[in-house]
Amino acid sequence: MQSRNLSRRTLLTATAGAASVAAVPAPHAAAEEHTGRRGRLERLIARMSLEEKVGQLFVMRVYGHSATDPDPADAEQNLKEIGVRTAAELVATYHVGGIIYFTWAHNTRDPHQIADLSNGIQRAGLAQSAPVPLLVSTDQEHGIVARVGKPATLLPGAMALGAGGSAADARRAAQIAGAELAAMGIRQNYAPVADVNVNPANPVIGVRSFGAAPQRVAGMVAAQVRGYESGGVAATAKHFPGHGDTTVDSHTGIPVITHTREEWEELDAPPFRAAIAAGADAVMTAHIQFPALDPSGDPATLSRPILTGILREELCYDGVIVTDSLGMQGVREKYGDDRVPVLALHAGADQLLNPPDLALARNAVLDAVESGELAVERVEQSVLRILRLKERLGLLRDPFVSHRDVERTVGARSHLAAADRIAEETTTLLVNEDRLLPLGRRGTRTHRRLLVVGADPASPSGTTGPPTSVMAGALNELGFDAVSLPTGTSPGPARIEEAAAAAYGRDTVIVLTYNVTAGSSQRTLVQRLLDTGVPVVALAVRNPYDVAQLAGVPAALASYGWTDVEVRAAARVIAGRAQPRGRLPAPVQRADDPAQVLYPIGHGLSYA
């Protein structure tokens, strides 16, 4: 861990009172299988060719909104990257066991289209010589990572739920998300994130984590595993053995975790133990080096000591192990794309996610089996786990979904109401000098004319509104006179002066901040707004650490995300229509002395 971070011992001490998690969970599902069920699956495997068995191991991207009739540009992109034009051709050619949906691959336009795409993929799976349904997956963590947007229900992300502190809310959020995904034919969700974000400088996890307190994170992870699976999807705890203390993004490099084995046991392991005890169907690997667990220099995804030695043997996990995307740089730095899938299987992985070159990866595994480097029994072992999961989800009985289920489930009124209620529990008030907030109690005219400025990060799903506009609109609905002026995450001098000029004549300025650093021009914007003499309210719409960089702001809040549901909840708190009930799930350290804590875990003000 970097010197600017809190000591690991401090973090552990801060959570000493949290409930503990069972140290050694029972085996996942093997003890519950009866002989007849296993025999059926083994007979199905026996009917498969080697190519079909190897195909079951791969989960692949594919472009297009339709399994058989994608847009011409998507068909051309498929041909370029995969060598086929459609999802149906992908299944017929490579016999893949799963497909992952992405917004950028144009898989997730709207719920009914998603359901049709899922059904088309399943028809392709059942048309094979050994008919096997596919496991359709996506990353629907909610908060800042979501592939399916409105009209599906958008929910607070992990750190927001951590701020809310309610395991029941975390479970309900996951159950809603799972039910809606299942209605669209998406039966595996790559969530929850089980990483403990002890490093504020972490560039890739941050608010995707429930927080920095291991046992509290463990409780939320267990709740979400149960929630997703009660909603009808396979939960996937990620990223094993723990990605929370990095300063490198594994999409672009290979992070190194310097925790000792003892620190791993105390800091990183509890959420994964909790996920396994809760019955997690899958665990996703991390493309990180962890010398204390494996000194070879191999990333965890390719490490037999980590995946087999620790996850399988020590933690007694017998569910599906899925790699993180094999197109990420963290897993590609040391070995070629042909060796990575083979080494991942040697390490103990079952599902090989999104290789950059599917033909190369598939052929490498086939060659390894045919040469004797990889035993066919090892492949069949993973196929059995994958089929066992598909059977548990009911895919082997009926893999299809209906438009009726979409209509009555996705974006249901009760789901939307629950999302609003849960979000209200998460907004955290960090600073409130002279009781500036709530604005609603300042009288009928004072503090009624508002200016909303600041960052408008890109929507995680492409279907949420610009947060400054959403905030202004929500405040107007609450009786204020609010106008918005987006200034971006890196405002230039002209935009800053425009915002300052717009502040004159307004009673209060609300500025949305996004990952403010010491050198960020967002700091300049906030200072210039303070110089106008107009009261300033700062809302951090991603990491809650922004407040440390904004000295002098009379009021500061954290929403931990910028989806409509989170921004609207923050508006209700600012207006006094809801109490700020959130409490920091991770400490905020001083900007001038990171060894010191500015606001500890559990900090949060109220209006009472």
Residues 33-75: tens digit of each pLDDT: 456 778 889 999 999 999 999 999 999 999 999 999 999 999 9
Q: For residues 302 and 113, give the distance between their C-alpha atoms in angstroms, rounded to a whole number.
A: 36
Catalytic one of 298, 324, 350, 507: 324
- Cα separation values, 187 from 59, 114, 271, 385, 507, Å: 13, 12, 22, 15, 49
Question: What ranges do the domains of the chain cover?
Answer: 28-409, 427-599
Over residues 152-162, the pLDDT tens digits come to 999 999 999 99
- Of 249, 251, 405, 481, the catalytic one is 251
3-state secondary structure 228-282: HHHCCCEEEEEEECCCCCCCCCCCCCCCECCCCHHHHHHHHHHHHHHHHHCCCCE
DSSP-assigned letters across all residues of 473-515: HHHHHTT-EEEEEE--SS--HHHHHHHHHHHTT-SEEEEEE-S
The helix/strand/coil state of 120 is: helix
Task: State the Cα angle at 365 between 362 and 370, rounded to 5°.
Answer: 125
**pLDDT tens-place string over residues 225-252:** 999 999 999 999 999 999 988 876 677 7
Packing angle, helices 87-94 and 358-371, rounded to 10: 10
Tell me the average pLDDT of the chain: 91
The secondary structure element, H or E, covering residue 450 is strand 449-454
Cα distance between residue 159 and residue 200, in whole Å: 13
Q: State residue 12's pLDDT score.
A: 39
Burial of 38 (0-12, 13-18, 19+ CB in 10 A): middle
Report pLDDT digits (tens) over 582-606.
Answer: 999 999 999 988 889 999 999 999 9
Q: Is 34 designated active site?
A: no
Q: Which two tokens stand for residue 362?
A: 């598939």
Q: Name the burial class of residue 201, with classes exposed (0-12), middle (13-18) and buried (19+) by CB atoms within 10 angstroms of its CB.
A: middle
Beta bridge partners, 511, equal 453, 538
Cα dihedral 118→119→125→131 (10° resolution): 140
Q: Does domain 28-409 have CATH number 3.20.20.300?
A: yes
How far apart CA 198 and CA 4 sit, in angstroms, is 11
Position 251 scores a pLDDT of 77
pLDDT of residue 114: 98
How many angstroms separate the CA atoms of 397 and 542, rounded? 42
Residue 120, CB-side half-sphere exposure with 13 Å CA sphere? 20
Decide if 193 contacts 159 (C-beta within 8 A).
no
- Phi/psi zone of residue 486: left (φ > 0), alpha (ψ -120 to 50 degrees), beta? beta
Conformational region of residue 106, where left means phi above 0, alpha means psi within -120 to 50, and beta covers everything else = left
Q: Could you name the CATH architecture of 427-599?
A: 3-Layer(aba) Sandwich (3.40)
Residues 6+ apart with CB under 8 A from 384: 38, 41, 42, 45
- For residue 431, the SS3 value is strand
Residue 338 annotated in active site: no
pLDDT tens digits along 367-386: 999 999 999 999 999 999 99
Count the neighbouring beta carbons within 10 Å of the beta carbon of residue 141. 23
Quote the pLDDT of residue 36: 74
- For residue 462, pLDDT over 80 is answered with no
Could you give the CA distance from residue 180 to residue 232 in angstroms, rounded to a whole number?
9
Distance of alpha carbon 175 from alpha carbon 185, whole angstroms: 15
How would residue 204 be classed by pLDDT, with cut points 50, 70 and 90? confident
The residues near 4 (Cβ < 8 Å, ≥ 6 apart) are 200, 201, 589, 594, 595
Tokens 């144009």, residue?
A: 106
Closest CA relative to residue 238, chosen from 329, 351, 111, 332: 351
Placement of tokens 């719920």 in the chain: 111
Per-residue pLDDT tens digits for 79-105: 999 999 999 999 999 999 999 999 999
* DSSP-derived 3-state class of residue 100: strand
The pLDDT, as a whole number, for residue 332 is: 85
Which range among 30-44, 142-156, 467-481 shows the weakest confidence by mean pLDDT?
Answer: 30-44
Q: How far apart are CA 561 and CA 538, in angstroms?
A: 14
Residues 162-176: tens digit of each pLDDT: 999 999 999 999 999
Judged on CB neighbours under 10 Å (0-12, 13-18, 19+), 17 is exposed
Give me the amino acid identity at 412. A
